[in-house]
Amino acid sequence: MLEWVLLGVLGLAGLGSLNKTTSTTTKIPAPSPPKLPDALDHEFPTKLEIWKDVWRSSVGDGRWIPKGEASQIVVSYPPPVWTGSERANPLKTTSATDLILKELAIRNAAFLNRQRLAQKEFFDTVEKNPLTPEQIHACVCMDDHVLVVAAAGSGKTSTMVAKTGYVLNQGLASAGQILLLAFNKDAATELRERVSERLKGVPCVDDVAIHTFHAFGQKVIASATGKKPSLAPWVDQSGKDIETVEKIALELSKADPTFRHEWDMLRTVYAQSIPANDEHPNARAAFPTAKGDTVKSGGEKQIADWLFYHGVEYEYERPYEHDTADERHSQYKPDFYYPRLNFYHEHFALKKDGESPFGRSYLESVAWKRGLHAERGTDLFETASHEISTGVALQRLRGELTRRGQKLHFDPDRKGDGSSAVTNRALATTIRVFQQHVKNNRLSYGQLRAKLKDLSGNLRNERFELFLSVYERIAEEWDRRLKCSGFIDFEDMLVQATDLVESGRFESPYTIILADEFQDSSKARARLLQALSKNPTVRTHLCVVGDDWQGINRFAGADISVMTEFDRLFDRPTRLNLSETFRFPQRLGDISSAFVQKNPIQIRKKVQTRNAWNKESIFIYAFKDSENPLNHLFDQLSAMHGFASKGRLKPSNGRLVTILILGRYRSDEPAEIDLWNRQFGDHLDISFRTVHGSKGLEADYVFILNVIEGRRGFPSQIEDDPVLQLAMPTPDLFPFSEERRLFYVALTRARRQVRIYTSRSKPSPFVTELTKAWDLKVETGNGELMNACPRCSEGFLVQRQGKTGPFHGCSAYPRCGYMRKIFRAEEMPRN
């Protein structure tokens, strides 16, 4: 019987007969193998071993075997069929494909170990430093779709260069079959120079194709259509695209009063996004209004600005007309009072269910205020924080004011004593980012409207509707100008190239495709890679390298979900790690890694370092608002220069000790940079970058300025506009998610130390989080240590003046009301 099983299996495998006798009697039907009784298929394990022997010999072990071959093996060599009871089926939980994959993994591991030894000289010399075991694994692994998750400073570019050289040396592809894709021109230039320098002895290495995604898209279109497309001049220069959006908006405003009203409403009132449950009040988060008041929440600011630009007279926190001060309450100050109409307006921090993020004490305060108005017979109108994000609060306020006889006149040019309206350029920037996502994700206006309906339900979201209305008009004019001039933009370039690859009009010659900085890719880039990797005529290997922890280019159309959801976008995925960094000290790596991984969507990894620096790697300094932290920075630089001049402070990588000063905004750049370089330039190399502009850079010492709480602080409170979610398939809803990744980038530029500058009264929540989690000390400008609040651990104790004298209060007031009296020497309690 076993003989029949063997013949049956080999016949199904397509290997033909075992002897001539069988081949000459093919006209006589061979008898079927007898069926074994249920639960008695005792020969099934033997059948499996025979099946394994058959396909093993076809695979060999002299190469890396991609995962995709497992399914092909099953088709070419069908496994034996279990004929017994399903309950006893040995393959019930493990398919034949899984069995093959397990064995292929063992063979590939053995092959990797052999290659480490056989190619040791290449792996040790292809880059300036010998490749790490993880980098070698990334070079040797030739699975179908590989995602290499790389830590900051782990040698991403080195890995791409080395993998290119490995493929060529092993004859896995010719130079003309290799495509390297980079995020921008600078990265492509660096990659091209590195390949040329490190692989200069490899024949035909200059035939390796190295492009930006957009340049490659242009090449695809030219090859498939015979006509090289022209890129619109207003997208090929930095900032010109935003300038064009602004010009279109201003021209539409002149021609169409309706558009102008919508545009100006967005600028003056709705420019700032408000979360669904705006946490109010919060004395640390001060919001200046157009009129000149300082309010305590984003919702209050939106209301105040709406009132101001509609010509409504109001008073903010005017004392209530009746005395309310007693042992438990101070004098009541309602949020808004309308003197001409004689009624009060409270904007309560209430969720849709009537609860508050501030708990029972806040709800008791709400009840007390309502009771006062009822008892005293004063008129109270209420809005709630949950009504702000949908626009319901302003709709109800409009109705209440007009019902009472208030005339509303919208004047976007009205000048106040406070904050200015958002500029046309700033709003144009948001429109342009939104447009990039819309085009990259191939969304129609109808799909955007449908998504808005899904997000809003039965409620009208006035802010989002205004935004979509304005966007559609601008996008139509943008596309009209492209068409009339015969141009395309960057997004069209990728979309059209992908269509040509998918349709087969472009025949890809590439069998090895490597892409860098994958965390900065858009959906359009990912689709292009998908299309290229599905070559129907030849097996293609795709390897992308990136660090989702450094995904900071959403403003340029990047979508981090293409990396975090790689397994969903690409079949038969393999994930490898580059978790060993050459750059920063271990403690700094531990702190920064834990910090960025608070965002739940980030890919988990443990970062180890080869940096031997064992001194303290992170310092925090806090200053009073009136103090100038730049004086302290100057003193630090002066001291470092003194040590360097005496040989006590040596550069880690070069002739000079490198100092990198970082700011969240360009306006953070110290005006004294040039002066400091003239003073200290013989031993210190001092430069400034925005954190966005610092990506890819490193220095011995890093100073991060203005790490404070505020609209233009760090984290910035003007990022991640929720309206972008209409154009993005995967919401990134964790608070300050991109700002958190940006701060991680700032921290990981340092080879030795990071020095953070914050405010004593408005410390950044990032600073308080780090001090709480890692027991970091915060020094004041005069060298004293600031103490964390013993009650909330979110703020620091700052000195304030009260009615009975000085006291230490929490900087997080009023979220935390901790107070501790400061006693004079004669007042100190005695035992």
What domains are defined for the chain? 2-112 (no CATH), 138-225+491-581 (3.40.50.300), 233-266+423-487 (no CATH), 272-403 (no CATH), 608-786 (3.40.50.300)
- Cα–Cα distances (Å) from 173 to 58, 70, 176, 600, in that order, read 22, 22, 8, 39
Q: Which two tokens stand for residue 275?
A: 């979360």
Return d(Cα 357, Cα 348) in angstroms, integer. 11
What percent of the chain lies above the pLDDT cut of 90? 62
Can you give 203-260 as a three-state secondary structure string? CCHHHCEEEEHHHHHHHHHHHHHCCCCEECCCCCCCCHHHHHHHHHHHHHHHHCHHHH
pLDDT-derived band at 116 (thresholds 50, 70, 90) equals very high
Contact partners, residue 311, CB within 8 Å, separation at least 6: 407, 408, 409, 410, 411, 414
pLDDT tens readout for residues 55-69: 888 888 889 999 989
| Cis geometry, peptide bond prior to residue 814 (ω within 30 degrees of 0) | yes
Asked which of 89-103, 317-331, 488-502, 542-556 is least confident by mean pLDDT, the reply is 89-103
Q: Residue ranges of the alpha helices (H) in 13-95? A: 20-24, 44-59, 68-76
**Residue 640 in contact with residue 702, Cβ under 8 Å?**
no
pLDDT-derived band at 731 (thresholds 50, 70, 90) equals low
What integer pLDDT is reported at residue 792 of this predicted model? 76
> Is 62 exposed, middle or buried, given 0-12, 13-18 or 19+ CB atoms closer than 10 A?
exposed
**Positions at the binding site:** 150-157
What integer pLDDT is reported at residue 384 of this predicted model? 92
Compute the average pLDDT of residues 451-479: 86
pLDDT tops 80 at residue 817? no
What integer pLDDT is reported at residue 823 of this predicted model? 62
pLDDT tens readout for residues 503-533: 999 999 999 999 999 999 989 999 999 999 9
Contact partners, residue 620, CB within 8 Å, separation at least 6: 755, 756, 758, 767, 770, 771, 776, 777, 778, 779
Asked which of 270-284, 445-459, 497-511 is least confident by mean pLDDT, the reply is 270-284
Return d(Cα 709, Cα 284) in angstroms, integer. 8
Compute the average pLDDT of residues 468-488: 96
pLDDT tens readout for residues 90-106: 776 678 888 899 999 99
pLDDT-derived band at 664 (thresholds 50, 70, 90) equals very high
> Greatest CA separation found in the chain?
117
Compute the average pLDDT of residues 547-562: 87
pLDDT-derived band at 624 (thresholds 50, 70, 90) equals confident
What integer pLDDT is reported at residue 14 of this predicted model? 35
**Positions at the binding site for ATP:** 150-157
Return d(Cα 773, Cα 591) in angstroms, integer. 9
**What mean pLDDT is reported for the chain?**
87
For 697-741, the DSSP string reads: --EEEEEE---BSSTTSSS-TT-S-GGGGGT-SS---STTHHHHH
Compute the average pLDDT of residues 758-771: 90
pLDDT-derived band at 34 (thresholds 50, 70, 90) equals very low
Return d(Cα 252, Cα 474) in angstroms, integer. 8
What integer pLDDT is reported at residue 793 of this predicted model? 66
Q: Which two tokens stand for residue 80?
A: 């034996």
Compute the average pLDDT of residues 470-485: 96
What integer pLDDT is reported at residue 136 of this predicted model? 98
pTM, to two decimals: 0.82
The DSSP bridge partners found for residue 797 are: 810
Number of neighbours of residue 799 by Cβ within 10 angstroms:
11
Compute the average pLDDT of residues 454-464: 73
What integer pLDDT is reported at residue 278 of this predicted model? 52
Number of neighbours of residue 46 by Cβ within 10 angstroms:
13
